[in-house]
Amino acid sequence: MRPVMALLALGCALSSSTAWARPRACIVPELGLPLAGRNAVDCGVAEKGKRWQRVPVAKCAREAIARGMPVRFGVGVMGIDAFGCDVAVRDDEGRFYLIRLDWDVAADERPRVYVGRCPEIDPEWKDSAAIGHFGPRDCVSDDAAFTRAEIRLP
């Protein structure tokens, strides 16, 4: 009986972790981390369309924001020839940013990257056509934040 309980406990611990969300959903896995800062909580980047991944990412982000911590979280998609990531950041000074990366390799386009400062970020997923999936509506492009984001494309 003890081995079964140990496996159950391990399964619960892993299911509440967002470690699985980091490498798979964004072609730039570290997107947003330099802007968030060294002490940021990395809640990961969930794959678009996978609610089971978005729920723990959103929960992690809500908890970090409630504690006043810097945080990075997002949602992305990696296709065969197109990639996209929306990453929200709260930096160590409490400012919110949205980073959007969009790259259509098939169209022979260069990657498009937007970094904007936002009045707030909603960790809950919004499936909208508007920029960002985290509710920012009044984000303003921020060149200084773009530089601080240290985005390195593959």
| pLDDT 10s digits, 58-78 | 899 999 999 999 999 998 877
Residue 31 in domain: yes
**pLDDT for position 127:** 57
Mean residue pLDDT of the chain comes to 77
- 149 against 21, higher pLDDT: 149
- 24 against 57, higher pLDDT: 57
46 in Cβ contact with 19 (< 8 Å): no
CB atoms within 10 A of CB 45: 28
Q: How many domains does the chain have?
A: 1
pLDDT at 133 over 90: no
Residue 8 in domain: no
User: What predicted TM-score, i.e. pTM, was given to this entire model?
Assistant: 0.76
The answer to whether the Cα torsion of 102, 105, 109, 111 is positive or negative is positive
pLDDT at 131 over 50: no
Residue 132 in domain: yes
Q: How confident is the model at residue 12 (pLDDT cuts 50, 70, 90)?
A: very low
Q: How confident is the model at residue 120 (pLDDT cuts 50, 70, 90)?
A: confident
Residue 70 in domain: yes
35 in Cβ contact with 145 (< 8 Å): yes
Residue 25 in domain: yes
Residue 1 in domain: no
Residues of the chain with pLDDT > 90: what percent?
27
Q: How confident is the model at residue 6 (pLDDT cuts 50, 70, 90)?
A: very low
Over range 124-139, report the average pLDDT.
60
**DSSP one-letter string for 4-30:** HHHHHHHHHHHHT--TTHHHHS-SSTT
Task: Provide the residue range defining the domain that includes 116.
Answer: 18-149
- 40 against 84, higher pLDDT: 40
pLDDT at 25 over 60: yes
Residue 4 in domain: no
**pLDDT for position 24:** 65
Residue 154 in domain: no
